[in-house]
Amino acid sequence: MKKFLVLGILFVLPLVAYLFFASGVHNFAKLPVLNDQVLDVNVLKSSTNQEATFKDNITVLGFLGKDMYNKQGNAFNLNQKIYKKNHQFKDFQFVMILPIGSENAAKDLLEELDDIADVSGWKFLFSTPEKIKMLFNSLETPHTLDANLATNFVFIIDKDGNLRGRDGSVKDDNSKTYGYDASSVADLANVMTDDVKVILAEYRLALKKYKADRNSK
């Protein structure tokens, strides 16, 4: 009996350890802060009077641009791969930035997304090109807006308004990730899904610790 127990330990423990680490290095660490000087999205003062802020929210920030129909696929990818899986987290929001004049197109898109999932966590803000560029430039990423004020990349902003991503410090992953390509299902499924889980887990653990500390007093 002892022999089988020893053999079991020798074979099972390495397997458990492997599964633990193979499930993703990023699942067991905080998502690095890449920029702590991002402007709050409330600087836009949207034309529809819809308000949004990074403060106390975990935000997926995107720039759909004035030719939004060319970015609809990105929105559907995000809705399917990221939003649907996490929208029940009450402080999780999607904020999409568009130029003034795109209001009707955004309304049509929101109605289509609503057929797939509750879209109460989606917010569309409309502003001038100057303010949109100002917000985007404050991210300080290697990505750029195109002539339509759009980009395929979306960004994770934490509750303190910091840009989160990968800083290249993880073993076997020395590339920095400032944003996630919403036109690529593979990038969303293999990279962004993991990073969103990390930051949500980070805040869940912080909340549990806060409640535990209060109960212990």
| pLDDT for the residue numbered 168 | 86
Beta bridge partners of 156: 60, 164
Distance from chain centroid for Cα 119:
16
Task: Please report the pLDDT score of residue 69 as a whole number.
Answer: 85
- CA 10 to CA 76: how far, in whole Å? 47
The DSSP letter of residue 31 is: P
Q: Which residue has the tokens 């127990």?
A: 5
How many residues are listed for the chain in this entry? 217
Q: Would you give the distance in Å from CA 151 to the centre of its chain? A: 15
Report pLDDT for 27: 43
Low-confidence ranges of the chain (pLDDT < 50): 6, 12-28
List, in sequence order, every beta strand (DSSP E) within 8-150.
Answer: 33-35, 58-63, 92-99, 122-127
**Would you state the pLDDT for residue 103?**
92
Strands (E), the chain: 33-35, 58-63, 92-99, 122-127, 153-157, 163-164, 166-167, 176-177, 180-181
What's the pTM value of the predicted model, to 2 decimals?
A: 0.82
Report the alpha-carbon distance of residue 53 to residue 40 in Å, rounded.
6
Q: How far apart are CA 1 and CA 6, in angstroms?
A: 9
What pLDDT, on a 0 to 100 scale, did the predictor assign at position 1? 58
> What domains are defined for the chain?
33-216 (3.40.30.10)
The pair of three-digit structure tokens given for residue 177, joined into one six-digit string: 């990730």
Q: What three-state secondary structure class fits 66?
A: coil
Q: Is 126 helix (H, G, I), strand (E, B) or coil?
A: strand
**What is the reported pLDDT for 193?**
96
How much is the pLDDT for 162? 98
Q: Which residues contact 105 (CB under 8 A, 6 or more apart)?
A: 68, 69, 98
Position 21 scores a pLDDT of 39
Q: How far apart are CA 16 and CA 213, in angstroms?
A: 31
